[in-house]
Homo-oligomer: A and B are copies of this chain.
Amino acid sequence: MPRPSASIERVFHALGDPTRRAIVERLSRGPVSVSKLHAPLNITLAAVVQHLQVLEGSGLVRTTKVGRVRTCHMEPKGFSAVERWINDRRTLWEKRLDHLGDLLAEEDDEA
């Protein structure tokens, strides 16, 4: 099992690149072969394969090979660690606001 922080690191890094986001956007509409994925992208097939390796390493994409055809699938659970991290930040921030609100209300009561 990779450490959660390592996984967050990889997902943020993977999605920081516009080509890799375009690949995930395409795969969210359904699985597709590497060659079909390559066709609309203005880069070499070798570059597509490299991007796919980064995406597989981050857990956002899975590829399967049947005969000579490699098919790419999106893995929605790959987003979980990042979603959790963002939610945790938001929750802490909102709790603090609630706490400030309570303190202000107490001051009003005492005034």
Q: State how many copies of this chain the complex holds.
A: 2
Distance between Cα atoms of A21 and B28 in the complex (Å) = 27
Contact of A76 among B8, B9, B16, B93 (CB under 8 A): B93
B30 to A96, Cβ gap below 8 A? yes
A28–B89 CB distance below 8 A: yes
* A interface secondary structure, majority: helix
Could you say which interface size class chain A belongs to? Answer: 20 to 34
Known interface pairs A9-B16, A12-B16, A13-B16; A79-B90 also in contact (CB < 8 Å): yes
Which of B13, B86, B96 meets A82, CB within 8 Å? B86
- 0/1 per residue, A79-111, Cβ < 8 Å to B? 100110110111011101000000000000000
By a beta-carbon cutoff of 8 Å, the part of chain A in contact with chain B is: 5, 8-9, 12-13, 15-16, 18, 21, 24-25, 28-30, 74, 76, 79, 82-83, 85-86, 88-90, 92-94, 96
